[in-house]
Amino acid sequence: MNSNDFIFYPLFIIIIVSVFTQLYYNNNVIFGSDESQSQTLVGNQTLNEEESKLELEQGSLSLGFDMTMGLVAIIVSAIALGLIGLNILGSGLPDSSVKIIWNGIIFYGLWTIFSVLSYSSIASIPNFGVLFWFMITFIYSLGVFSKMGSAE
């Protein structure tokens, strides 16, 4: 096995578990709608720590954000700002150091996003779920460290 296999297979497993988790635990996924309607705003807005609800003349619009989506948004923003900062502003570090930072941000950023998205499924497996996550994380880390040390 080469280092790409150590990266590909664990990442593939965690992506599949993430997709399954999101489809299973969030069964209210809506991919699109053909209807459109224009309404005037009544002006009532309810806001608490879990959701923001906007009441219209006929119906309401609820924007519910949970902890998972918030963490994913923060992680994606941090990754994007870090990569933009390295490329545009520069760092003054040698090329090998920039490569290590770049690969670390990309590979572990992806791993963290999919780990957060699949947390509900992994945590629901008693005794084995966390051990499984640590095993695939260890294998993934071997592949990432091997890639960082290579000249690719």
Close Cβ partners of 113 (under 8 Å, ≥ 6 residues apart): 72, 75, 76
Q: Is the pTM of this model over 0.75?
A: no
Asked if 60 and 54 touch (Cβ cutoff 8 Å), the reply is yes
For residue 83, what are the domain limits?
A: 3-26+66-149
Tokens 């309404």 appear where?
A: 39
Say if 42 falls within a structural domain. Answer: no
Say if 131 falls within a structural domain. Answer: yes
Per-residue pLDDT, 31: 47
Asked if 114 and 14 touch (Cβ cutoff 8 Å), the reply is yes
Say if 59 falls within a structural domain. Answer: no
Say if 94 falls within a structural domain. Answer: yes
> For the segment 34-55, what is each residue's pLDDT rounded down to a tens digit?
555 554 555 555 545 455 555 5
Closest CA to 62 of 73, 53, 74, 72: 53
Average pLDDT over residues 31-35: 51
Burial category of 55 from C-beta neighbours within 10 Å (exposed 0-12, middle 13-18, buried 19 and up): middle
Say if 13 falls within a structural domain. Answer: yes
Structure tokens at 90: 């520069």
> For the segment 64-122, what is each residue's pLDDT rounded down to a tens digit?
556 666 777 777 787 777 777 766 676 677 777 777 777 887 888 889 889 988 888 88
Per-residue pLDDT, 35: 55
Per-residue pLDDT, 13: 94
Say if 33 falls within a structural domain. Answer: no
Say if 48 falls within a structural domain. Answer: no
Structural domains of the chain, count: 1
Say if 32 falls within a structural domain. Answer: no
